[in-house]
Structure 1
Amino acid sequence: MSVAEQLECLLQAGLQVEYIRLENESHMHSGPATESHFKLVLVSPDFAGKRLVQRHQQVYGLVAELMQNPIHALALHLHTPEEWVERSGEVPLSPTCKGGSKTDQAGG
């Protein structure tokens, strides 16, 4: 099972999911990793009444086993169904990676 599939299974098991979109953004980052950087858009009524930090904590708690390895970065866009309608399904673009390889940073 791929990392993305594992991530989705953990989220589906732990939350009432109305909409989920998981994008593998590993290609936007330096290095050889192929499943290490993701953007998650998740709509769930379970987020109602929770501050943003509480939503992030809830999601990170569900996927903790993947966060040290193999996932290096997970951009979270977490919404209630009402918020999602207000946003018209718009999600900001991810920034381009500004990091380089370790050899670039060493002045090579």
Structure 2
Amino acid sequence: MDPTEVEQLIKAGMPDAEVRVMSPDNTHFETLVVTEAFAGKRAIARHQLVYQCLGTLMGNEIHAMSIRAHTPEEWQALQAAD
């Protein structure tokens, strides 16, 4: 599965999100999702929101996915620290 397709699926489920998806082989993905929808949620709940956008593709077309899930404020603080 092409990273652009994965990105579009996540954006369709989280229209306000900033999404970046990378993949060396189109089955293992690294994803960055930044959205206010993550505010007040633990990491597992954030990942579940991303998985919901991808449905049955997880574990099938998408073999593995590393997810970095941040609120805009968290992402801004991480960038400032670099």
Q: TM-score range by the shorter chain?
A: 0.7 to 0.9
Larger Rg: 1
**Post-superposition shift, 1:89?**
7.1
Q: Give, in whole Å, the separation in 1 of the partners of 2:80 and 2:8.
A: 22
User: 2:61 maps to which residue?
Assistant: 70
User: In the alignment, is the contact (CA less than 8 A) between 2:38 and 2:46 conserved in 1?
Assistant: yes
Question: 1:1-56: per-residue Cα shift (whole Å, max 9, x none)?
Answer: x5322211211111121x22211133xxxxxxxx1001001111111111111001
Distance 1:89 1:7, change over 3 A: farther
Matched, 1:48 2:47: no
Conservation of the 8 A alpha-carbon contact between 2:28 and 2:65 = yes
Aligned to 2:75, the other structure's residue is in SS state: helix
**5+ residue gaps, structure 1:** 27-34, 91-108
CA apart distance, 1:86:
0.8
- Residues 25 and 39, structure 1, Cα contact 8 Å, conserved in 2: no
Identity of aligned residues (%): 38
Give me the whole-angstrom Cα distance separating, in 2, the residues matched to 1:42 and 1:81. 9
The answer on whether the counterparts of 2:7 and 2:20 sit within 8 Å (CA) in structure 1 is no
Q: CA RMSD in A?
A: 1.7
For 1:87, the equivalent position in structure 2 comes to: 78
Tell me how far apart the structure 1 counterparts of residues 43 and 13 of structure 2 sit (CA, whole Å): 17
TM-score (norm 1): 0.66
> Segments of 4+ in structure 1 off by > 2 A?
none
Q: Tell me, which stretches of 5 or more residues in structure 2 are unaligned?
A: none
